[in-house]
Structure formats: structure tokens, C-alpha cells
Amino acid sequence: MPSPDPDLPDLRSCFPVLSEEVNGRPLVYLDNGATTQKPQAMIDRLSQFFSHENANIHRGVHYLSMQASDAYDRARETVARFINAEHEDEIVFVRGTTEAINLVARSFAAPALQAGDEILLSVMEHHANIVPWQLIAGECGVKLVVAPMSDRGELIVEEFENCLSDRTRIVALTHVSNVLGTINPVAQLVDLAHARGIPVLLDGAQAVPHLPVDVQEIGCDFYAFSGHKMFAPDGLGVLYGRREILREMPPFQGGGDMIEQVTFEKTTFRAPPERFEAGTPNISGAIGLAATIEFLEQLGWERMHAQEAKLLDYATGVLGAIPGLEITGTAASKVAVVSFVLDGVHPHDIGTILDTCGIAVRAGHHCAQPLMERLGVSGTTRASFAFYNTIDEIDQLAGALRRVKNLFAG
């Protein structure tokens, strides 16, 4: 049996909630795909901000406002470096991945769509990358086209290419499936779309916690992700958009700080990214995200990725050996996510019983009902790992699942 990473206790101590107990048992937190836990370094940075720097930004000439504005603007620079955006003004702070996708759908896609046009998605999309496009399609008379996947949970590249047509106006794809863990070959898919002059948006919510993301190398036109899925505060997301595209897009919302001049007859708007950040933004969220990125960079991405790869390999073997348990999603390229079904046991029952053991997993359709239909199930149980998880926690999960199986077997 593999032993835990000898450095892991130091990593775990950076996340205070991991020392909690649930139902009298040490917490085993395996719901990282829903939200990740928060490092003390980020918590301390937010405490510093609220205790000593709190003010509104870009409006005041007093000391605190200038301090807060500087921290917020530096956060944008940190995020641009993190995903290797060419320009910091290509980073728009939003409320989350969902708002980022809605922004692109409303401000970029909708004004150019005509009846009969097509939007290409994949069968493994999260609802956040389906519903906004459905709303637009209904308003504009546009057709949604869905690229299929194999039984292993891999996007079929040839079929994706066949789905591209002269009517395709935008492609919106997940970088990593939140259910299957599949890593899609996004650079290749972007190239295929761009060869036809079709722009591409990528949902990176499940990718940024697990993979190095370089938007210039990928070549996408838009990339969206959320802070809370990568150890940062909730209520804060990022939309990357290529500068030349953002500059041509109209505002998504109207309000303060996104304007140049307002009269009752006419309003002129600021350049991106401020054009898309109406009102008071999530200042503390952006500062917390920057602090988290700096913390993760200090830990070392290679160290974290190696730990997650070890966890995925071990969990796949141990859980796959349980009789009656079937793993859904066996792509060759995956992040540390294992979804499964257990014969005769509803996922919600599994999740509830595991909770009595202090084990947190996710059960249900995972905001991916079309994917559940493709898999032929109503839902799955999902164990999603982060670098702070351990081999011992996987053994606890496997032992608890065997008890669940025995309980329902009578």
C-alpha cells in the first residue's frame, strides 16, 4: 500500500477546517469539485484587509481607498500572470464561472446571432455552460449542437470536427468535466474551431485547481473560472477575453465605475475590463484570490499535481476493486475525480451514510443532467480530491463503501 506523501502533514496544516470532526469522526473532505477548503494564508490576508485596508475602490482620494484600489489592481495582475494572459486588461472580475459565461453569451454572442445559426457544446457540459446558451438560442432562433463522447467519457475529436459547420458561431466547452474528470484536448479543439474562424469559450472551473493553464498556449478566445474551486473565496470569478474582442463588446450590466460620462441623453463607457465591472466589485474576493495564487505558487505546482496523480491512481484501483461498484469516466487523461455507481444503492443514500462516518462526498446529478442521461443513470456519487487529501482517507472511503454495500445487501 502506498504511503502518504511525507510532506503532506505540512500541507494539511495550512487548511484549518481539515482538523474538524464530523459526527465524532475526523473530517474526510472529498467534495473538492463542489468547493475547495481555504488556506490560512488567504484567511489571514482577508483579515488584514478588513482590519486595516477596507474601503471602496477607484472612487476615493483618501488613504484607505487608495490602498484598497492598489490591492485590487495588483490582484488583476496576479491573475493575468497565473493563466499567462498577454495583457492584464484581459482579466475581468465577475461573480463566478456562471456569470462569466452569461456575460459572453449576452455581450459577445447574442448581438451577432441570427436565426438558423448554431452554437456547439459537448454532452459533458455543466448546466452553467448549457442554460445560458439555451436562453440565447430561444431568443435568437439558434440551434444548439452537442458533440458526443465515447463510453470512456472522452470527447470524440472526429465527431466534434464533424459538428462544426458554416453556421457555427461559437463553441463553448468544458476544459475538465466536473463529473468524469476528463481533461479535454482543448488546444486541439480550439485549433479545429479557429480553422473555420469560430471563436471558443472554455469553462475552466474544474481545470484551474488541477492543471497549469496557459491561455496563450491554448489559444482560446474566452476562459472562465471561479475562485472558490481553487482554494479562494466564493462569489468571485474570472473571465479572460482576448483584448481585441473585449474592446468590441458592449457592456453586460450598467452602473457605477464602468462609465466615462453620464448624462440623461447619453452615457459613454470605459474600456475593458472596467466596462464589465459595474458597481462595487468583490474587492476582498479578488484580493483573496491573489493571495491564494501566491500561496499555491510557494507550495509548488509540481508537488501538488504529483500528489493528486497519486491519489487518483490509488483511488481508481481501490474503489474499482469493490464488487458492484462501477466507475463512470475512465478517460486516459483525467484529474483527481472518481464518480461511481454502486449496485442497488441510491447515490443520496451513499452520501448520507458516508456523512455519518465523517466523509464528505457529492451525490446526485452534479448539475450535469444531460450527461447523466448519456451515462444511463439518475446520478452518481463523486469523490473529488485535492492535494491535501491522503491515501488513508481513500482507505476510509473504501471501507465505508463496503459497509454500505453490506448494509443494503441485508
3-state secondary structure the chain: CCCCCCCHHHHHCCCHHHHCEECCEECEECECCCCCCCCHHHHHHHHHHHHHCCCCCCCCCCHHHHHHHHHHHHHHHHHHHHCCCCCHHHEEEECCHHHHHHHHHHHHHHHHCCCCCEEEEECCCCHHHCHHHHHHHHHHCCEEEEECECCCCCECHHHHHHHCCCCEEEEEEECECCCCCEECCHHHHHHHHHCCCCCEEEECCCCCCCCCCCHHHHCCCEEEEECHHHCCCCCCEEEEECHHHHCCCCCCCCCCCCEEEECCCCEEECCCCHHHCCCCCCHHHHHHHHHHHHHHHHHCHHHHHHHHHHHHHHHHHHHHCCCCEEEECCCCCECCEEEEEECCECHHHHHHHHHHCCEECEEECCCCHHHHHHHCCCCEEEEECCCCCCHHHHHHHHHHHHHHHHHHCC
CATH annotation of 43-297: 3.40.640.10
Return the closest-CA partner of residue 204 out of 88, 104, 125, 288.
125
The confidence score (pLDDT) of residue 60 equals: 86
Asked if 367 is an active-site residue, the reply is yes
The confidence score (pLDDT) of residue 34 equals: 98
pLDDT digits (tens, 9 = 90+) for 214-225: 999 999 999 999
Select the more confidently predicted residue: 10 or 184.
Answer: 184
Q: What are the grid coordinates assigned to 231, written together?
A: 482554494
CATH annotation of 8-30+300-408: 3.90.1150.10
Q: Give mean pLDDT, residues 35-52.
A: 98
pLDDT digits (tens, 9 = 90+) for 303-350: 899 999 999 999 999 999 999 999 999 999 999 999 999 999 999 999
Strand partners, 168: 118
The confidence score (pLDDT) of residue 4 equals: 42
Q: Is the model's pLDDT at 1 over the cut of 50? A: no
CA distance 269 to 264: 14
Strand partners, 97: none
Return the closest-CA partner of residue 240 out of 112, 87, 73, 70.
87
Cβ pair 223, 69 in contact under 8 A:
no
Domain coordinates of the chain in residue numbers?
8-30+300-408, 43-297
The confidence score (pLDDT) of residue 311 equals: 98
Return the closest-CA partner of residue 366 out of 342, 341, 390.
341
- Give me the phi and psi of 141, to 5 degrees please: 70, 35
CA distance 187 to 26: 41
Q: Is the model's pLDDT at 410 over the cut of 80? A: no
Q: What are the grid coordinates assigned to 406, written together?
A: 453490506
Cβ pair 189, 157 in contact under 8 A:
yes
What's the mean per-residue pLDDT of the chain? Answer: 95
Q: What percent of the chain has pLDDT over 90?
A: 94
Cβ pair 331, 153 in contact under 8 A:
yes
Cell 465605475 belongs to residue: 257
Q: How confident is the model at residue 76 (pLDDT cuts 50, 70, 90)?
A: very high
